[in-house]
Homo-oligomer: A and B are copies of this chain.
Amino acid sequence: MALLQVAEAQQLILLHSHCLPAETVPISSALLGRVLAEDIASDIDSPPFDKSMVDGYAVRSSDIDGITELSIVEEILAGTVSNHSIQPGEAASIMTGAAIPHGADAVVMHEVTTFDEQRKRVQIPGPVKPQQNIMARASEMKQGERVLTTGTLLRPQELGLLATVGRTSIVAYRTPRVAILSTGDEIIEPGQPLHSCQIRNSNASLLMALVTRAKAVPQYLGIAHDTLESLRPLIAAGLKSDVLLITGGVSAGKVDLVPDVLAETGVKPIFHKVALKPGKPLFFGTLKNTLVFGLPGNPVSGLVGFELFVRPALRKLMGRSETFISPTMKAKCRNEFHHKSDRPTYYPVRLHLAAEGWEALPVNWKGSGDLRSICASDGFAVLPPGEVRYSSGDFMDVLLPELDHWS
């Protein structure tokens, strides 16, 4: 039987992923990365009046012909209202953000004018264009107009806009809760004494951080032994979350009991293997709306599995409206590179942003257990199955990386 392809597996996962219920949340930076579950209308015209964009003088543009001297009749501060209407030959001193007085139709920047303090007059160089340095009332948005829609990701600018329209709370999709369970008799926690043949649990730290970076909430369940008695209660606890990530115990080996316990609890298996390297043994199943991922025990396989399969699911659970999955970008290979595999391979590369675009340097990677190489890399080149050769300057497809190093 042909192995399931990555894109097919991703489609199956998305088919079983449904966005979480919405809830009302106060506006704060904690909303960064969450997704609107309502359309947002403006309750105001913005700006609420014709507004000066600079500090300077509000004038009648038709008054100005070459250098023109005008009489200053008032000072308009931001937050005050002028009752005077500017007459021919008059100007008003005006602050950034203040309302343009009646009669005026342009603002001249303070820096280009000459002010005569004693005579309260100002020299304005012409010509002056109508509407110059004015942001017209409602030019950003009109009262009642929809300014953000359901499915919008909340970034700093959206939080700023929500403040502009007076919101102190919004309706957002709930944040996914992701339980993380490590399995394996040989696995011990980093703080414990290490005996021969034991391996420290790097997966839990890795996955907790990946979940956190994806703006979901991780819950660590600990390490299960390779026994039914140890696995059952921990898996039962994990199935109360929106997503359960299990590392180890899902390959074809004899003590890989995870699939048995999942079957007992009613988890419906969707697939168990995907054509990729690293990370071919990859279990996905569902119990009602809970998504269960069995990731391989090697940390790099777990990382690749998370990025390719868990990440798109979390995005859908969080209500994101974007439809892309694992987008790639082009990067120029910086050296000779040769690779051979029967499966599509996600190969770690170090990225460099050159003047002409991204460059990728494949690292000296020793396989799915080699997390150190992943620390020396920024992303993964997507290599097609078979034998591939890149010369220096050839383009590679690279999974769009987290740009941590550049942000």
Contacts and interface: CB of A to CB of B under 8 A. Distances in A.
Interface of A: 27-29, 32-33, 44, 46-49, 51, 53-55, 75, 77-81, 93, 95-99, 110-111, 135, 139-141, 147-148, 152-153, 155-168, 184-187, 190-191, 194, 196-214, 218, 226, 248, 251-256, 296-299, 303, 322, 324, 327, 329-330, 353, 356-358, 366-375, 400, 402-407
Nearest to A93: B254
B156 A168 contact: no
Copies in the complex: 2
Nearest to A133: B367
The interface centre, meaning the residue of A147, A157, A329 with most chain B CB atoms within 10 A of its CB, is A157
8 contacts: A46-B369, A139-B370, A140-B370, A161-B202, A163-B190, A163-B206, A322-B405, A324-B353
B162 A205 contact: yes
The interface centre, meaning the residue of A97, A139, A213 with most chain B CB atoms within 10 A of its CB, is A97
A339 B47 CA distance: 23
Q: Which 7 residue pairs are nearest across A and B when measured between Cβ atoms? A: A79-B186, A160-B206, A156-B209, A55-B253, A29-B212, A78-B186, A163-B205
Nearest to A366: B139
Nearest to A44: B194
A356 B374 contact: no
A386 to B, nearest CB: 18
